[in-house]
């Protein structure tokens, strides 16, 4: 039997009830929340060892909850696992999440991730170290805080990782995936990204572009469809796009739009 407290944050009752039963049967103490605001109340009432968090919720969504959680020093190190139905999603560390758990759940994989997160959380909480004196980095080397989210679809994993690192180094929160599914528009509604970058030859991009174009909620979000050298994708895409071109596009949107 396991030890530890796990907070499950999801607006779907079936997801909450299922995870509660599964985790309770393993011996965990389970707290439940339907949105980010309720989740913060649960955290303050009893510090969890790990959090399972849905991003797309009404009211305070998952990203807003994560930001509020990380702003509190006492909870900055609590492991947070993002639950998502968008397969292939990779979340950069700047979002504040430690793992991704895909829906529908592979129960064995989920339990392994929860067990590791709880172990690390409890181990770190029992380890006392003498804090080192704070040495601030030179201002020019520090990225601006919370420049915004960038949604990135790139079918080539090595290129995706390189572009992810370049944007993250500039202070952006990058949510990346190797193929575009219909859930991407829902993810965009929840995160309200600074920009959306879509590789024209990635699976599902054509359908997603049409759905995004028809959404009045997303009409203010800049979308760039691009292709690499020698690739044939959607007509009208920015051709032979290098990483520096894509980063430049995002930076230009930051200059034009107010910070969210």
Domain positions in the chain are 5-126, 144-256
Q: What percent of the chain has pLDDT over 90?
A: 22
pLDDT at 106: 80
**Using one digit for the tens of pLDDT, what is the confidence trace for 12-67?**
998 898 899 889 988 999 999 999 999 999 999 999 999 999 988 888 988 899 98
Q: Residue 132 gets which letter from DSSP?
A: P
Domain 5-126: top CATH class: alpha beta
6-10, 11-15, 202-206, 223-227: least confident range: 202-206
Dihedrals φ, ψ of 115, to 5°?
-60, -45
Q: CATH assignment of 144-256? A: 3.40.50.2300
DSSP character at residue 238: B
Q: Does the CA dihedral 9-15-17-18 come out positive or negative?
A: negative
Confidence (pLDDT) at 144:
43
> Tokens 């009830």, residue?
17
Distance, CA of 249 to CA of 260 (rounded, Å): 18
Write the pLDDT tens digit of every residue in 131-179: 433 434 333 333 344 577 888 888 888 888 888 888 878 888 777 778 7
Name the H helices within the chain: 13-25, 36-45, 62-70, 107-126, 157-169, 183-191, 205-213, 243-256
Query: How many Cα neighbours within 13 Å face the side chain of 8?
Result: 23
The confidence band for 122, taking pLDDT boundaries of 50, 70 and 90, is confident
Question: How much is the average pLDDT of 210-228?
Answer: 78
pLDDT in tens, 78-108: 999 998 877 666 665 556 677 888 877 788 8
Query: What single string gives the DSSP state of each residue in 2-48?
Result: ---EEEEE-S-HHHHHHHHHHHHHTT-EEEEESSHHHHHHHHHHS--
pTM score of the predicted model = 0.58
Check: CB of residue 47 under 8 Å from CB of residue 5: yes
Average pLDDT over residues 250-256: 78
Same fold yes or no, 5-126 and 144-256: yes
Q: What's the confidence (pLDDT) of residue 116?
A: 87
Residue 121 makes CB contacts below 8 A (sequence gap 6+) with 4, 49, 50, 77, 78, 79
pLDDT of 7 reads: 97
């Amino acid at each position: 039997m396991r030890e530890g407290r796990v907070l499950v944050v999801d607006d779907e009752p079936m997801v909450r009830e299922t995870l509660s039963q599964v985790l309770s049967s393993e011996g965990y103490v389970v707290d439940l929340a339907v949105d980010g605001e309720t989740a913060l109340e649960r955290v303050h009432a009893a510090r969890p060892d790990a959090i399972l968090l849905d991003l797309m919720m009404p009211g305070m969504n998952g990203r807003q909850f994560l930001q509020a959680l990380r702003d509190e020093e006492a909870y900055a190190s609590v492991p947070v696992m993002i639950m998502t139905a968008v397969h292939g999603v990779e979340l950069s560390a700047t979002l504040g999440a430690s793992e991704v758990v895909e829906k529908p759940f592979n129960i064995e994989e989920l339990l392994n991730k929860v067990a590791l997160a709880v172990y690390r959380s409890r181990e770190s909480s029992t380890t006392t170290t003498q804090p080192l004196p704070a040495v601030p980095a030179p201002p020019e080397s520090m990225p601006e805080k919370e420049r915004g989210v960038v949604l990135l679809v790139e079918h080539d994993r090595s290129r995706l990782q390189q572009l992810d690192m370049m944007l993250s180094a500039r202070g952006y929160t990058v949510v990346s995936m190797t193929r575009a599914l219909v859930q991407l528009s829902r993810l965009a509604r929840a995160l309200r990204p600074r920009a959306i970058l879509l590789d024209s030859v990635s699976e599902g991009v054509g359908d997603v572009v049409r759905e995004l174009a028809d959404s009045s909620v997303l009409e203010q979000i800049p979308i760039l469809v691009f292709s690499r050298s020698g690739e044939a994708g959607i007509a009208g895409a920015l051709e032979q796009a290098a990483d520096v071109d894509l980063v430049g596009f995002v930076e230009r949107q930051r200059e034009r739009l107010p910070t969210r």
